[in-house]
Each structure stands twice: as C-alpha cells, then as structure tokens.
Amino acid sequence: MMMNRTMKLLLLSDIFVLTGFGLIQPILAIYIDGGVSGGSMLSAGIASALFMLTKSLVQLPFGKYVDSQSRKTQWLILGTLLMTLVPVIYVTANSIYQIYLAEIVYGLGSGLAYPTWLGLWSANLEKGKESFQWSVYSTSTGIGTAATGALGAAVASLIGFSATFLLAGSLCLLGCAALLLMERRDARAAKSLGGEGRLRKSGDGVRCF
C-alpha cells in the first residue's frame, strides 16, 4: 500500500473507531425507545440532532485553532478518548438525559478529532496519489462500517445491548492505541531533533523549520 506509517496508523485508528460505532448505529434507536426511561423514537431523533449540532459548533473554531498547533496528534487522541466514553455512558444510562449527555460528549469528541484527523491525513498525502489514497481510506472504512452495520443487530440479539456497547468501546480503545503509537513515534522524532528550530507536523512525521 502506497502510504507512509503515519497514514497507515491514521487509517487503522479510524477503521477501529468507525467499526465500533458501526455496531451501535443500527440498534441505538431501538435501545433508546425500549431500554431507557423517557426514551422514544422522538427522543432518539433529538439525541442524534444533539450530536450533529455539538459536532458542527465545535469543529469549525477548533479546526482553525488546531491548524496553529504543532502536536496535533494529542488533540486527536483526546477527541477519540471522549468518543470512547460514549458507549460506556450508554451502558450506565438510566434516563434519556444521560443519553443526551452521551451524544453531546460524542459531538465534542468528534468535533476535536475530525478536523485534526483530516489535517494530519491531508498533510501526509503523497503528491500525485491523493485521489487513490483517499479512495483507500473510503473503501477500507466503508467495508468495516458495512460489515458491522449488518452485524450490530445480530450481536445485540445474541449478547445484549450492554455487551455490544462495551465491544464498541473496546474497538474505540484500539483506535486510540494506534494513535498513541503514532504520537510516541512523533515524540521520539521530535526529541532526536534536539530542539533545533520550530517543530511542525509535515510529511511522514515531524520536520524542523
């Protein structure tokens, strides 16, 4: 695959995270409607709207901010960790308001992670192969999401909602682990430069300007 290590780790992380949430999406409205106090199909729609609204309000100003930061991976890890909390909140939720809280946390985490991920991926695209590399990403994550979309309801019917949510959270943690590997590698590269000049993310790791 024509990708540097940074891109491979970014891709691997997103596959895990999107696969995890792919398990949840087909069953969440059913869970809210039948398994949460105050839940209904209307409240499931409100929960979805809260996620999208929070994400939209956060990502635009944060995208502008993170462009000026040199250690972008740390923000990506933070956003992904917040997203990892969401399935845990689902498991412990007793009322629809806790589901609403989970969706706000999900929107906040996505608002931090999404623009940061896009920035890192775009900075590492190989000139002349941009379309192919985006296609590799879209195909890989699409296949993973499609597989879990079909699997999510089956898994929930076999092992229950709580176990399915915890499985989704575990997959998100694996996504975080891939990002931690990337951050550790970048930190070693930065240290090896001995503080010469200003460090910024570029290409396959960090460069000194």
Distance set, CA 203 to CA 68, 175, 191 (Å): 16, 21, 17
Topology classification of domain 5-208? Growth Hormone; Chain: A; (1.20.1250)
Q: What is the mean pLDDT of the chain?
A: 88
d(CA 29, CA 186): 40
The domain ranges of the chain are: 5-208
Which residues, listed in sequence order, are joined to residue 208 by a DSSP beta bridge? 199
Rg (alpha carbons) of the chain, rounded to whole number: 18
* Average pLDDT of the segment spanning 42-54: 96
Give the model confidence (pLDDT) of 153-172 as tens digits. 888 889 899 999 999 999 99
Contact 100, 179 (CB under 8 A): no
Kindly state the tokens that stand for 116: 């940061």
pLDDT band at 34 (very low <50, low <70, confident <90, very high): confident
Write down the pTM of the prediction: 0.85
Nearest to 126 by CA among 193, 204, 57, 51: 204
Q: Is the pLDDT of residue 1 over 90?
A: no
DSSP output for 10-31: HHHHHHHHHHHHHHHHHHHHHH
pLDDT band at 69 (very low <50, low <70, confident <90, very high): confident
User: What's the pLDDT at 194?
Assistant: 54
User: What's the pLDDT at 193?
Assistant: 59
Nearest to 113 by CA among 150, 152, 81: 81
User: What's the pLDDT at 190?
Assistant: 61
